[in-house]
Amino acid sequence: SLLKALRVQERVSRVGFDWEKAEDVIKKVESEFDEFKSALKERDERKIEEEFGDILFTLVNLSRFVGLNPEEALRKTISRFISRFSYIETSAKQEGRALADYTLEEMDHLWEEAKRAEKHS
């Protein structure tokens, strides 16, 4: 769906239905987040889903503006997430503890360790 959104945005931009600069798209992302937060407060499930979709669609447009492939960016993020969470799981095994016994604070600490380890590898 990300690539479909990208293709739609590329097509409409060719006929001039487009933002002038990335900063304009960023403002639109911020506006969509505000609308999403309002929908959450209202607890309107249909509106929440709609606004969430608007955020995703606008973020894909931002990726186009800055020259990123949204699928590739998401794939890399998922890979980093899996790697970092694997670090947490391995740390728990090495300590002989069940992951469920860790507090969120302890897991966050290990998450930050994993990020530092990534930067040094």
10-residue mean pLDDT series, the chain (121 residues): 96 96 98 98 98 98 97 98 98 97 98 95 82
Q: Residue 92 has what pLDDT?
A: 97
Write down the domain spans for the chain. 2-68, 75-119
Q: Which one, of 78, 84, 89, lies nearest residue 113 by Cα?
A: 84
Asked whether the beta carbons of 57 and 2 are under 8 A apart, the reply is: no
Count Cβ neighbours within 10 Å for each residue of 22-51 and write b for 16 or more, e otherwise: eeebbebbeebeebbeebeeeeeeeebeeb
Identify the CATH assignment for 2-68 out of 1.10.287.1080, 3.20.20.140, 3.40.50.300, 3.40.50.10140. 1.10.287.1080
Q: Residue 121 has what pLDDT?
A: 82
pLDDT in tens, 70-98: 999 999 999 999 999 999 999 999 999 99
Place of tokens 């894909």: 60
Predicted structure pTM score: 0.89
